[in-house]
Amino acid sequence: MIRSKTKYEACENEIRELFNRHKVGTVESIDPLGNGEFNAAYKVRCNDGKGYALKIAPPEDANVLTYEKNMMTAEVFWYEKMHKHTDILCPKVYVSDYSKGSVGSNCFIMELMEGEPLWAVKFSDAEYDSVQKQKIGMLTKIHRIQNDQFGYIQSGLYDTWYEALKAMASTLVSDCKALGYKTPDGEKFLRLIDKHEALLRKVPCRMVNFDLWDSNVLYNDGKICWIDPERGFWGDPVADFITLGPGQKAPLSAKQKELAIYNETAEDKIILSEETEIRYALAVCYLALIEEVEKYVRYEPEEANYIRNTVDARAMYDMAYEIL
């Protein structure tokens, strides 16, 4: 697994006890699973021949960002929403255990989905376009799921996207200061949120994944499966375009192909305009702030991922500022 300061390192006995306690099965093999940088994940095979995925949250005393506390409960929540309201292929959660009775941190056992992350599959250009179209189609489905309050379910909801985004950004700025660092870009972002308050108060409230990178979509025999929705929130659906097309360092205007595909099946179309560009740019700033601050709790300054976050955040801020 990728080195990270937040991952819980479970021993075999803990995992065996967890599976026995919940009568899932007798564990026969345990292997690391996936390349996530926050939670620990294991592939567990039982004596009935079935495979399971076990996901474990960072330990309670881990240094994590405020919005990441109790984030595992959010992941289970979003899986439930997708199963209840869409036909999106995603894992079924069999057991949620927040007791710390067997494993010393919050965890859950879910269906093991077969397949490789999209980035690892050698697609032809036509195949890749087809898969990306399927991925965009998944976004149109979750964007039909509505709520009357905005924000992270694990850290408090608000009546408008303006209030939620301001609170989400303010919390990250406070986290940064508590870690002993300044964030002039974070302070500027807060001022930009206030500048566009009137627009943000009109934003519709939808389920937003905000993390639909190719690493979070598995491909198997022509089908795609969605995993790891824990960073989702109730908010602006335009924010989900960050992961599409040319990515997070490009403006919404560079994603007209993706917008057209989205609007083919979306109930509420997203039309490229000055307003949607501003909404999108503010979402990019939020992701930049996350990447800027999270490097302080996850990595050491000499590590490649620390440098990656620094470079990515700078590019995102600069792109968004040109619009805002």
Q: Which of 273, 289, 320, 52 is nearest to 169 (CA)?
A: 289
Domain termination site, one of 89, 111, 133: 111
Distance separating alpha carbons of residues 148 and 146, to the nearest angstrom = 7
Distance CA 219, CA 307 (A): 30
Q: Same domain for 28 and 122? A: no
**According to DSSP H, which parts of 93-148 are helical?**
125-142
Residue ending a domain, choose from 61, 96, 111: 111
What are 241's two structure tokens?
């375009």
Sign of the alpha-carbon dihedral angle for 86, 87, 90, 95: positive
Least confident segment among 35-44, 133-142, 157-166, 201-210: 35-44
Q: What is the pLDDT of residue 4?
A: 62
| Same domain membership, residue 149 and residue 56 | no
Which of 8-12, 103-107, 217-221, 274-278 shows the highest mean pLDDT? 274-278
The residue out of 80, 111, 142 marking a domain boundary is: 111
**To which H or E segment does residue 95 belong?**
strand 93-97
> Bigger pLDDT: 289 or 36?
289
CATH of the domain at 155: 3.90.1200.10
Quick one: pLDDT at residue 1?
A: 39
Query: For residue 190, is pLDDT > 70?
Result: yes
Give residue 148's pLDDT. Answer: 96
Please tell me the predicted confidence (pLDDT) of residue 3.
Answer: 54
Average pLDDT over residues 23-32: 91
Q: How many structural domains compose the chain? A: 2
pLDDT-derived band at 107, boundaries 50, 70, 90: very high
Q: Is residue 1 part of a domain?
A: no
Is 50 exceeded by the pLDDT of residue 2?
A: no
Residue 66 and residue 174 share a domain: no
Q: Which strands sit side by side in the sheet containing 223-226, from one edge to the other?
A: 116-117, 217-220, 223-226
**Spatial strand order in the sheet of 150-152:** 156-158, 150-152, 233-235, 206-208
Are residue 165 and residue 289 in the same domain, yes or no?
yes
pLDDT surpasses 50 at 316: yes
Asked if residue 147 and residue 98 are part of one domain, the reply reads no
Q: Is there a single domain that holds both residue 59 and residue 177?
A: no
Domain range enclosing 106: 12-111
Percent of the chain surpassing pLDDT 90: 82
